Amino acid sequence: MPKMTFVENDGTEKEVDAPLGLSVLEIAQRNDIDIEGACEGSLACATCHVVIDPSWYGKLEEVSEDEEDMLDLAFNLTETSRLGCQLIISEELDGLKVKLPDSL
């Protein structure tokens, strides 16, 4: 099974199983990672904002216009910010590493 790593705000890394076809948001929720996902993955908020490790960012599908619009609402946006609900795990993303954005 593919794996992915979440990096908490304090730098703690948590490697978890990342079943194919699930979103980063769904995987976070299954593993008690502190990501809200207020709109339940319907691309109507930015509460599942994650920061992609730069070594992985280029391997992701391009950001859609709708996702860019929602990212504009996210706090502490970075060059590699994405919405967890829009990142679907595939074989190519086995080992993906994402950081939770710094809180205010």
Q: Model confidence over 4-23: pLDDT tens digits?
A: 999 998 999 999 999 999 99
78: domain range?
3-99
pLDDT computed for residue 72 by the predictor: 93
**pLDDT under 50 in the chain at which residues?**
104
CATH of the domain at 53: 3.10.20.30
pLDDT computed for residue 89 by the predictor: 97
Q: What is the pTM of this model?
A: 0.94
Q: Which residues pair with 13 in a beta bridge?
A: 7
Residue 52 lies in a domain: yes
pLDDT computed for residue 102 by the predictor: 82
CA distances from 66 to 1, 42, 90, 91 (A): 30, 11, 21, 25
Domain count, the chain: 1
pLDDT computed for residue 104 by the predictor: 47
